[in-house]
C-alpha cells in the first residue's frame, strides 16, 4: 500500500481533504532525503471543523453498546495485523527506524490495540452508601467527550495508538495533531485503519498543521476536554499552562534523563546488554533512554571495557539494511545539535571512549566519561546516540546522582539481589523504575508516566480509564427529605 501517496492529507468528518493553508509540510525520509509527501497545512477553520465533527459524533458513540465499540477495535487490530509489513516499512522510511525498531513498535501498538478492545467493557458504575435514610447514591463512569492528541515523531504509531484506541473504546471522540516529521505514520495511517474498521465518521479526525499557522487553537478550542501530549518538557509546560487556564485536563508524557545503575554485585555482561539497548535503541531518540550509565567503581573497569567494545561494534547506516543497528536521527538540525553537544563536552574536559562520526543524518554512537560535575549534559535530555558513563562509590552516592536531575521518567538498576533493587527503586524520584532490565519499557497494563519535569498523569490499563473518563454522581431519594429551611 502506498501510504505516503494515499494518506498525506487532512482527515475530517470521515473525508480526506486537502488543507487550505498557504504552505506545505514536506515529509522527508531522514536517511536519504527522499520527499515522501507534501501536505498542505490545516488552518484554524479546519481545526474547528475537526473538533465540531468530533463533538457531533461523540454523543451517539457514547451510547453505543460497548460490545459494538469493542468489535470496531478488534477489526482495527486485524487490519494492523494484515498490514504489518507495510506499516513496518513506513516506519523505516518516515522515521529512519531500523527493522528491529519498526517491528517492536508495530508489535507494541498491536498489544495496546488488543488491550483497548478489552477496555471498552472496563468502566463500571457503583452504588455507594448514603448518610441519609432512603437515599441511593449512584456513581457513573462516563466518557469525557472529545480528546485532543498531540503525538511525537519518535514512536508515533505506538504512542498515538495507545491514546487513540482506548479513548475510542471508552466512548470518546478524538482529534489527532501528528508531529510534522511523522504526519502519515502518526496520523493518516491511524485514520485509515479505523476508517476501514468501520468507525463512524467524525469520531476520529487528523489535522496536519503547525503552530505558526494555528497558534494555540488546537489546545484552546472549547470542544476538547482532555489534551494528551507527548513531547519535550519545554512544549509540555506551555501545553499545561494553556490548557490549565481553561480547566482542561492534561496527560503529559515529557522528556527524561534516565539513569541505568550498575551495582557492584550485578551480572556485568547482562548489564552491558541492557545498557546498550537502553541508550541506543532508535538512535537514543526515546524519552526513557538511559542518558546516564552509572557504574560502581568496583566494577567500572570491567563494565567499561565490555560496554565500549559493544558500542564501537554497533553498525550505523541505512535503516533499510537488516544489519543496521543505528539509523539516522530525525533531521539535519538534530544531527548538527548532537555533534555540537559532543564537541562542547570535550571542550569541558570530557573524554570520548568511543567517538562516532556524523555522516549526513547518521550520527554514530559516542561514549563520554569524565564530565565535570557542573556539566549541563548531566541534567539535560540527550535525544541521540550519546552515552555518559559515570562512576560512583557505593549505593548512597548512586541514589543521590540518579535523583540529581530535573526529570523523573524512568530508570533501571542491576544487582544480584532483586529485593535490594526494589529498595533502591523506591528511593528514586521517578514514575517508573526497573530492576535488572532496560530503562525503555512499556506495557498495556502498567501505569506509564513521570514525575518532576517528566510530566503528569498516567496512561495504560486502569490509568487510561481514569484519564479518559469522568465520574458523575446521581442520587435518588426514595421517600421525603427533611430540609432545614
Q: Considering 105, 213, 253, 381, which one is annotated as catalytic? A: 253
Q: Angle, to 10 degrees, between the axis of helix 66-82 and the axis of helix 99-119?
A: 160
Distance of alpha carbon 479 from alpha carbon 343, whole angstroms: 78
The CA–CA distances, whole Å, from 271 to 113, 275, 388, 392, 436 equal: 32, 6, 15, 16, 8
Question: Vertex 62, ends 229 and 456: CA angle to 5°?
Answer: 25
- Which sign, positive or negative, has the C-alpha torsion 11, 15, 16, 18? negative
Does residue 381 have an active-site annotation?
no
Does residue 395 have an active-site annotation?
no
Q: Are 54 and 175 in contact (CB under 8 A)?
A: yes
Cell of 347: 571542550
Helices (H) and strands (E) counted in the chain, each on its own, are: 16, 24
DSSP 33-92: --EEEEEEPP-HHHHHHHHHHHHHHHHHHHHS-HHHHHHHHHHHHHHHHHTHHHHHHHHH
User: Distance between terminal CA atoms of the chain?
Assistant: 71
Task: Give the distance from CA 328 to its chain's centroid.
Answer: 19
Helix (H, G, I), strand (E, B) or coil at 316: strand
Q: What is the Cα gyration radius of the chain? A: 24
Q: Considering 46, 105, 287, 381, which one is annotated as catalytic? A: 287
294: burial class by Cβ within 10 Å (0-12, 13-18, 19+)? buried
> Checking phi first, is residue 243 left (phi over 0); if not, alpha (psi -120 to 50) or beta?
alpha
Order of strands across the sheet with 249-253? 15-17, 10-12, 204-206, 173-177, 146-150, 226-230, 249-253, 455-456
Helix (H, G, I), strand (E, B) or coil at 117: helix
Q: Which residues does the annotation mark as catalytic? A: 253, 287
Amino acid at each position: 500500500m502506498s501510504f505516503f501517496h494515499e494518506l498525506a492529507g487532512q482527515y475530517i468528518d470521515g473525508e480526506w481533504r486537502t488543507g487550505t493553508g498557504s504552505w506545505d509540510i514536506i515529509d522527508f525520509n531522514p536517511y536519504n532525503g527522499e520527499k515522501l509527501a507534501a501536505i498542505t497545512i490545516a488552518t484554524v477553520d479546519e481545526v474547528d471543523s475537526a473538533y465540531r465533527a468530533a463533538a457531533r459524533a461523540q454523543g451517539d458513540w457514547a451510547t453505543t453498546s460497548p460490545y459494538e465499540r469493542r468489535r470496531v477495535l478488534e477489526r482495527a487490530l486485524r487490519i494492523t495485523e494484515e498490514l504489518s509489513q507495510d506499516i513496518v516499512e513506513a516506519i523505516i522510511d518516515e522515521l529512519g527506524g531500523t527493522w528491529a525498531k519498526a517491528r517492536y513498535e508495530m508489535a507494541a501498538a498491536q498489544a495496546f490495540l488488543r488491550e483497548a478492545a478489552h477496555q471498552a467493557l472496563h468502566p463500571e458504575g457503583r452504588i455507594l452508601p448514603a448518610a441519609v435514610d432512603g437515599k441511593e447514591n449512584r456513581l457513573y463512569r462516563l466518557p469525557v467527550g472529545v480528546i485532543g492528541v498531540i503525538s511525537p515523531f519518535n514512536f508515533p504509531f505506538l504512542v498515538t495508538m495507545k491514546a487513540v484506541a482506548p479513548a475510542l473504546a471508552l466512548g470518546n471522540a478524538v482529534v489527532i495533531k501528528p508531529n510534522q516529521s511523522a504526519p502519515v505514520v502518526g496520523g493518516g495511517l491511524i485514520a485509515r485503519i479505523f476508517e476501514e474498521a468501520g468507525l463512524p465518521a467524525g469520531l476520529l479526525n487528523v489535522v496536519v498543521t503547525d503552530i505558526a499557522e494555528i497558534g494555540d487553537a488546537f489546545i484552546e478550542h472549547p470542544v476538547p476536554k482532555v489534551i494528551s501530549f507527548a513531547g519535550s518538557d519545554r512544549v509540555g509546560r506551555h501545553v499545561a499552562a494553556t490548557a490549565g487556564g481553561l480547566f482542561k485536563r492534561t496527560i503529559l508524557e515529557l522528556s527524561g534523563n534516565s539513569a541505568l545503575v550498575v551495582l557492584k554485585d550485578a551480572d556485568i555482561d547482562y548489564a552491558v546488554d541492557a545498557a546498550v539497548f537502553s541508550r541506543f535503541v532508535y538512535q537514543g531518540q526515546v524519552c526513557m533512554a538511559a542518558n546516564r550509565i552509572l557504574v560502581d567503581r568496583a566494577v567500572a573497569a570491567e563494565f567499561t571495557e565490555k560496554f565500549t567494545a559493544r558500542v564501537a561494534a554497533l553498525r550505523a547506516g541505512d535503516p533499510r539494511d537488516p544489519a543496521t543497528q543505528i539509523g539516522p536521527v530525525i533531521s539535519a538540525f538534530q544531527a548538527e545539535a548532537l555533534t555540537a553537544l559532543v564537541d562542547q563536552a570535550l571542550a569541558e574536559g570530557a573524554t570520548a571512549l568511543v567517538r562516532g562520526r556524523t555522516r549526513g543524518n547518521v550520527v554514530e554512537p559516542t561514549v563520554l566519561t569524565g564530565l565535570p560535575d557542573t556539566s549541563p549534559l548531566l541534567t539535560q535530555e540527550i535525544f541521540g546516540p550519546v552515552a555518559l558513563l559515570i562512576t560512583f562509590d557505593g549505593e548512597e552516592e548512586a541514589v543521590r546522582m540518579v535523583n540529581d536531575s530535573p526529570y523523573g521518567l524512568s530508570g533501571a538498576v542491576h544487582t544480584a539481589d532483586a529485593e535490594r533493587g526494589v529498595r533502591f527503586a523506591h528511593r528514586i524520584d521517578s514514575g517508573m523504575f526497573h530492576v535488572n532490565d532496560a530503562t525503555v519499557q512499556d506495557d498495556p497494563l502498567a501505569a506509564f508516566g513521570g514525575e518532576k519535569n517528566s510530566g503528569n498523569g498516567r496512561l495504560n490499563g486502569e490509568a487510561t480509564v481514569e484519564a479518559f473518563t469522568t465520574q458523575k454522581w446521581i442520587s435518588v431519594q426514595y421517600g421525603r427529605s427533611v430540609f432545614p429551611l
